[in-house]
Every structure is written in structure tokens, then in C-alpha cells.
């Protein structure tokens, strides 16, 4: 009898231009949609690395990471376009929160823990998905990168 074990794909950059994302209660950024129809990952672990400008954090002192999806590849959650673009969050939002990065101090580069994208969708990664960021720490980003690593199951 074979065992089913986790197998990881290659770490892949997420296309999202958030290098100078300002702090705002509603103005954020969405990534280009990631097409899962070929790789068929059961999950994707998302990691973001925002560098925060010098200063004293304010507002919520957090960076929020949300997931969006499309099952038809055309219509995305809450008016997101599926492209790397500025995005104004609706309040309340229908996007699903996948992680929060607490910002304790300015002038620091942070690295998030791995965040499960599938968890946002009830455990099943949709055909197309992406992330949206809301920086509400009171300070702008000075650098930013994001990546994901797909998760598969293999029989061994």
C-alpha cells in the first residue's frame, strides 16, 4: 500500500507592484491572477516580504494579505481585475484574509510566515487566484516581494 505524502512545487514570484505602497484604510494593490489549471496545486503557500519606511507605525500597525479568485477566469472577487493593479477595498470586503503581518517598527524588512491560499477557499485552491494587499501600518513600503510555492500530493 502506497503512502500519500506532500510534494512541493518550485517557488514562484507573484506579480504585484507594491514597492512603494502607501498606508491606507482602503487603497491597496492586487496581484496578477495565478492560473492553477495546469499545475493543479491543492494549495499554495504564500510569503510576502515588505520593507517598511523609517518612522513610527500607526493606524492598525498591520499589513493585511487577502486572497481573491475566479472559477471562470473572467470574473474575480469584489471587482478585482486579475491584473497587477491598484485596488480600492470595499468595506466590508468579500476577499478572504489569509494573513496579517504586524509592524512593530519602521525601517525594518519583514518576512511573513507561509500563508495557505487554499484555506481562504475552504481548503480547495480555485482555478485562478491571487492576492490583494492592504498596508495599514501608517508607513509606506520601501521594497516588496511576494512568492508562492505550490503543494501537491504524491503516492510513494
Residue 137 belongs to a domain:
yes
pLDDT single digits (tens) 127-144: 999 999 999 999 999 999
**Can you give the residue range of the structural domain that contains 85?**
15-151
Residue 44 belongs to a domain:
yes
Residue 1 belongs to a domain:
no
Given this model, what pLDDT does residue 156 score? 86
Residue 117: give its domain's CATH number: 2.60.120
Given this model, what pLDDT does residue 123 score? 95
Residue 141 belongs to a domain:
yes
Number of domains in the chain: 1
pTM beyond 0.85: yes
Residue 3 belongs to a domain:
no
Q: Which residues of the chain have pLDDT under 50?
A: none
Residue 93 belongs to a domain:
yes
Residue 5 belongs to a domain:
no
Provide CB contacts within 8 A for 76, sequence distance 6+: 33, 68, 69, 70, 82, 128, 130
Cell (9 digits) for 76? 474575480
Residue 30 belongs to a domain:
yes
Amino acid at each position: 500500500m502506497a503512502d500519500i505524502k506532500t510534494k512541493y512545487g518550485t517557488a514562484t514570484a507573484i506579480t504585484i507592484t507594491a514597492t512603494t505602497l502607501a498606508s491606507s484604510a482602503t487603497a491597496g494593490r492586487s496581484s496578477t491572477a495565478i492560473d492553477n489549471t495546469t499545475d493543479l496545486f491543492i494549495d499554495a503557500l504564500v510569503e510576502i516580504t515588505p520593507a517598511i519606511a523609517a518612522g513610527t507605525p500607526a493606524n492598525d500597525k498591520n499589513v493585511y494579505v487577502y486572497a481573491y479568485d475566479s472559477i471562470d477566469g473572467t470574473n474575480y472577487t469584489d471587482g478585482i481585475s486579475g491584473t497587477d493593479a491598484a485596488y480600492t477595498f470595499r468595506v466590508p470586503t468579500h476577499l478572504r484574509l489569509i494573513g496579517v503581518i504586524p509592524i512593530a517598527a519602521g525601517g525594518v524588512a519583514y518576512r511573513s510566515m507561509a500563508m495557505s491560499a487554499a484555506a481562504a477557499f475552504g481548503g480547495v485552491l480555485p482555478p485562478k487566484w491571487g492576492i490583494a494587499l492592504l498596508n495599514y501600518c501608517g508607513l509606506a513600503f520601501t521594497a516588496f516581494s511576494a512568492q508562492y510555492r505550490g503543494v501537491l500530493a504524491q503516492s510513494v
